[in-house]
Structure 1
């Protein structure tokens, strides 16, 4: 079944279409979620929530506004960021052992693995290092522009300008 037909079937409430979409996308979506939350159990729980949202909100997908996979990734990214910003998540992190901080620091530099999880590593490789870092912080790690400016120790306006330029460069690469 073609992707458009599969999406239409999903929007019509076809459970088999939903199962097929889960088979096609769950691994990539899990990779994105895990790269943001860095916890297997939490990532699995968010993955289930994401696919529940996909099932319940399938009718809101509009192909004229973007690709289906992008729509799914936005749901996953938003759910992951919501989890990180939740009070329960922050409270669970208050008493971390020192060993956990090593993992957190190491995972902050795991951008290439994250990019590969959604199949855009070949495009990311040709971006300037500053673009790689900005995209990683803003889109994969869920930083705000202000948080990114603080992390990179550059002015907020510079983050906004560079982000716009980097996204335009990535769009050009993807259009080719």
Structure 2
């Protein structure tokens, strides 16, 4: 079955199409969510929420606005960020084990493993260092643009501009 046909059938609420989409994308989407949350259980919960949103809102997807995977990725990223901002998640993280912090410290610069989780490592490698930093913070670590601005010690407007330019460069690479 062709991807366009699969998406059309999903939009018509075909359960088999939904199952196939879940099988195709769930592992990659889980990787993105877990790279933001660093919590397997919470990531699995958010993954389920993401696919419920995909089922409920499938008719809002249109190929004119972009690729299906990008639409799905944005839903997942936003859901993961929302989870990190929830009071329950923040309270849960107050009493973390030392292993969690060791993992964060070891993975703080582990941009490579995160981009590899969703299969775009080879594309991001071609971007400049500043693009890598901005994309890592915004898309893989779940920072807001303001937090990214503070982390990189760069004006907010510059972060916004770089984000737009870097995403456009990535789009060009993926289209060619």
Gaps of at least 5 residues in structure 2 are: none
CA distance in 1 between counterparts of 2:64 and 2:164 reads 22
Shift of 1:120: 1.2
Give the TM-score taking structure 2 as reference length: 0.93
Q: Is structure 2 residue 175 aligned with structure 1 residue 175?
A: yes
CA distance in 2 between counterparts of 1:145 and 1:44 reads 26
- Superimposed CA distance per residue, residues 39-76 of structure 1 (whole angstroms, 9 cap, x where no aligned partner): 11111111111111111111111111111111111111
Corresponding residue for residue 165 of structure 1: 165
**Which aligned runs of 4 or more in structure 1 are off by greater than 6 angstroms?**
none
Paired positions, count: 176
Cα root mean square deviation, aligned:
1.5
Change over 3 Å in CA distance of 1:3–1:168 after alignment to 2 = closer
Give the TM-score taking structure 1 as reference length: 0.93
Corresponding residue for residue 27 of structure 1: 27
Change over 3 Å in CA distance of 1:158–1:64 after alignment to 2 = closer
Gaps of at least 5 residues in structure 1 are: none
For residue 168 of structure 1, give the secondary structure of its aligned residue in structure 2.
helix
